Amino acid sequence: MMSYCPIERKRYGKVPGFGQSRVVKFVLLISVMALNMVLKSLWKLNIYTWVKILIWIILFSAHLTYALPADLYAFSSEQDSQRFLNLTKTFRCVVCQNQSLADSDTTLAKDLRHKIYQMLNGNKSDDEIRQYLVSRYGEFILFSPLVKPVTLVLWGFPAILLTFILGGFWLWRRSRPQ
């Protein structure tokens, strides 16, 4: 099945994530038919009503193309699928920086998810996968940095700051005249 982009005048292969299964095609066909009937009967609406209708259509059809990263891979057990989801949520996308690998849609995140999938199928433990990714991309890939002497200030800073604030408040209260 080839799709055609009239703007760029190019032919593409299958459009990923949309219209691939019979169920999705059927739902889209029913949606288009229902939309056609609604549009024929409601052609005299004002612009605000049209905007509301379009928002509802977008919200209703948004779930059709969404898939979790674990849904794209075949696992031998539910435990492996859960491990995959947990691992992809604990690593940061190096490109996006504030998204996990599970949430990111960049090419690098897809490659890293595939690498994690391969390592899980190779019976690697979570620690081995974590060590591999940290050795390759550094500790920045971890959402929560490891506790080391270098990062001890980072972990202890909230407690130190709270101590200074409470100590300053205590000194201020003590020095005030009664």
Architecture of domain 69-141: Orthogonal Bundle (1.10)
Classify residue 126 by burial, with Cβ atoms within 10 Å: 0-12, 13-18, 19+: middle
| The pair of three-digit structure tokens given for residue 63, joined into one six-digit string | 């779930």
| The pair of three-digit structure tokens given for residue 37, joined into one six-digit string | 């009937």
pLDDT-based confidence at 4, cuts 50/70/90? very low
Q: Decide: 106 and 93 in contact? Cβ < 8 Å.
A: yes
- Give per-residue pLDDT as tens, 67-78: 555 557 787 888
Q: Where are the domains of the chain?
A: 3-64, 69-141
Does this model's pTM top 0.85? My answer is no
Q: How far is CA 142 from CA 8, 87, 139, 163, in A?
A: 40, 10, 6, 28
Q: Decide: 88 and 69 in contact? Cβ < 8 Å.
A: yes
Rounded mean pLDDT of the chain?
77
Q: Where do the H-state alpha helices sit in 94-151?
A: 107-121, 126-137
pLDDT-based confidence at 45, cuts 50/70/90? low
Higher pLDDT, 21 or 145: 145
Q: Give the closest residue to 27 by CA, choosing from 69, 71, 70, 57.
A: 57
